[in-house]
Amino acid sequence: MSEPTADNISIVAVIGAGTMGHGIAQVCAMAGCTTRLTDLGQAQVDAGLTTIASNLAKGVARGKVTDADQQATIARLSGTTSLEDAVRGADLVIEAAPEQLAIKRDIFTRVAAVVSERAVLGTNTSSLSIADIAAPIPNPSRVIGLHFFNPVHIMKLLEIVVAEQTRDEVTASMRAFAERIGKQPIVVKDAPGFATSRLGLVIGLEAIRMVEQGVASAQDIDKAMTLGYGFPMGPLKLTDLVGLDVRLSIAEYLASKLEQGAHFEPPQLLRDMVAQGKLGKKSGQGFYEW
Ligand SMILES: NC(=O)c1ccc[n+]([C@@H]2O[C@H](COP(=O)([O-])OP(=O)(O)OC[C@H]3O[C@@H](n4cnc5c(N)ncnc54)[C@H](O)[C@@H]3O)[C@@H](O)[C@H]2O)c1
C-alpha cells in the first residue's frame, strides 16, 4: 500500500465547513484538487461555499487571484451534507469539526469505513492527541495532524503533527502537499499543545496574569510585544480573537497533560471573564471592546 504523493492527491474531502474547514477547502481547490466540503446541515455547507466565493472575489479585486483561477477553483468545489458521499474515493480527508474528542473519533470511525486504505486522514485539531483521535480506527498509521491557522487562505504555516504510529511516508507526503497548497510546513511530535498552541498559550496566560496583577494595561502589554518584539498582534488582542473560552479549555487541557502543567494553570481573571460571558470578539467584550 502506498500513500498518494502530493502530486497525485486529486480528491480532497474536508469535514466541517466552519471557520477553518471552508478555508482549508479553498486552499486545496486553488491548488487543483477536486474538493468536497461537508457539514451537518445544508446551511453550514452553503455558508462555507459562500465565504470561499467571497474570499476569491476579494482576491481578484486585489489582483492576487486571476479570473480564470477563481472560476476553476469554484468549479473544483462541491458541498454535501453526507459525510460518506464526501469522503468516498478521496485521497486525503481533512477533519475540521469541533474540538471534542468524541466528535472527532466518531467522524474518523465513519470515514475509515468508507475510504480506501491508502487515503491519508488528517485532523485540524489544535490541541488534542492525534493518537487518541486515531485510536478507534483500523490502520491508524495513516492519521496525521494538519494544523492550519486562521484565516487559512492567508496564514502561511502548516503544523504537521506526527503521532508515534504515523508512517514516515504519510509525513513525507503531507510535507510535500503543504508546499503544493502554498504553506510552509513544520513537523512536530504529538505532544500536548504541539509547538504553536503550547508556546502561544503560555505567553497569552502570562499576559492575563500581568493584567490581573496590575502590572500594566492590556493595551500596554500588547504594545510591549508588538513594538518591543515585533509580534504582529499582542497576546491579549489575540486571546480576544481566539475566544477566552477556547483559550481556557486548552489551558485546562494542557495543565492536566503536561509535566510542567503549572505554567498552564488558568489565571482566575480568565475564569472570571469567561463566567461573565466576556469571551472576546465573538461576545463584543474581552480585554477590548469589539
Ligand atoms: N478557529 C481557529 O482559529 C482554529 C485554528 C486552528 C485549529 N482549529 C481547530 O479546527 C477545528 C474546527 O474549528 P473551527 O473554529 O473551524 O470550528 P467551527 O465551529 O467554526 O466549525 C466546525 C464545523 O463543524 C461542523 N460539524 C460538527 N460536527 C460535525 C460532523 N459530525 N460532521 C461534519 N461537520 C460537523 C459544525 O456544524 C461546524 O460548522 C477544531 O478542532 C479547532 O480546534 C481552530
Closest C-alpha residue for ligand 1 atom 18: 18
Point out the domain boundary residue: 189, 218, 247: 189
Point out the domain boundary residue: 189, 218, 239: 189
Let me know whether 94 and 169 are in one domain.
Answer: yes
**Probe residue for ligand 1, chosen from 14, 19, 279 as the CB with the greatest number of ligand atoms within 8 Å:** 19
Let me know whether 41 and 161 are in one domain.
Answer: yes
100 lines ligand 1 (CB under 6 A): no
Closest C-alpha residue for ligand 1 atom 2: 150
pLDDT, one tens digit for every residue, the chain (290 residues): 567 777 789 999 999 999 899 999 999 999 999 999 999 999 999 999 999 999 999 999 999 999 999 999 999 999 999 999 999 999 999 999 998 899 999 999 999 999 999 999 999 998 899 999 999 999 999 999 999 998 999 999 999 999 999 999 999 999 999 999 999 999 999 999 999 999 999 999 999 999 999 999 999 999 999 999 999 999 999 999 989 998 999 999 999 998 878 889 999 999 999 999 999 998 999 999 99
Q: What is the pLDDT of residue 85?
A: 98
Q: What is the pLDDT of residue 186?
A: 98
**Probe residue for ligand 1, chosen from 94, 124, 130 as the CB with the greatest number of ligand atoms within 8 Å:** 124
Let me know whether 111 and 158 are in one domain.
Answer: yes
- In a domain, residue 233? The reply is yes
Distance in Å, CA 125 to ligand 1 centroid = 9
Q: State the residue range of the domain holding 67.
A: 11-189
Number of domains making up the chain = 2
**pTM as predicted:** 0.92
Let me know whether 142 and 221 are in one domain.
Answer: no
- In a domain, residue 2? The reply is no
Let me know whether 37 and 53 are in one domain.
Answer: yes
- Taking the alpha carbons of 23, 116, 109, 167 in that order, is the dihedral positive or negative? negative
DSSP assignment of 176-188 equals HHHHHTT-EEEEE
Let me know whether 178 and 202 are in one domain.
Answer: no
* Residue given cell 487559512 in the structure block: 152
Contact 13, 93 (CB under 8 A): yes
Contacts of 108 (CB under 8 A, 6+ apart): 95, 121, 123, 133, 134, 136, 137, 143
Let me know whether 239 and 174 are in one domain.
Answer: no
CATH value at residue 62: 3.40.50.720
- In a domain, residue 289? The reply is no
Q: What is the pLDDT of residue 246?
A: 87
- In a domain, residue 285? The reply is no
- In a domain, residue 96? The reply is yes
Cα 267–chain centre separation: 25
Point out the domain boundary residue: 138, 157, 189: 189
Q: What is the pLDDT of residue 8?
A: 85
Contact 239, 208 (CB under 8 A): yes
Let me know whether 64 and 180 are in one domain.
Answer: yes
Q: What is the pLDDT of residue 174?
A: 97
Let me know whether 80 and 216 are in one domain.
Answer: no
Binding site feature residues for NAD(+): 16-21, 39, 99, 104, 126, 150, 282
The span from the CA of 12 to the CA of 24, in Å, is: 10
Contact 260, 269 (CB under 8 A): no
Let me know whether 202 and 178 are in one domain.
Answer: no
150 lines ligand 1 (CB under 6 A): yes
Contact 148, 174 (CB under 8 A): no
- In a domain, residue 5? The reply is no
CATH value at residue 230: 1.10.1040.10
Let me know whether 90 and 203 are in one domain.
Answer: no
- In a domain, residue 102? The reply is yes
Let me know whether 159 and 201 are in one domain.
Answer: no
- In a domain, residue 223? The reply is yes
Q: What are phi and psi of 192, to 5 degrees?
A: -50, 130
Q: Residue 266: CA atoms inside 13 Å, Cβ hemisphere, count?
A: 21
Distance in Å, CA 44 to ligand 1 centroid = 11
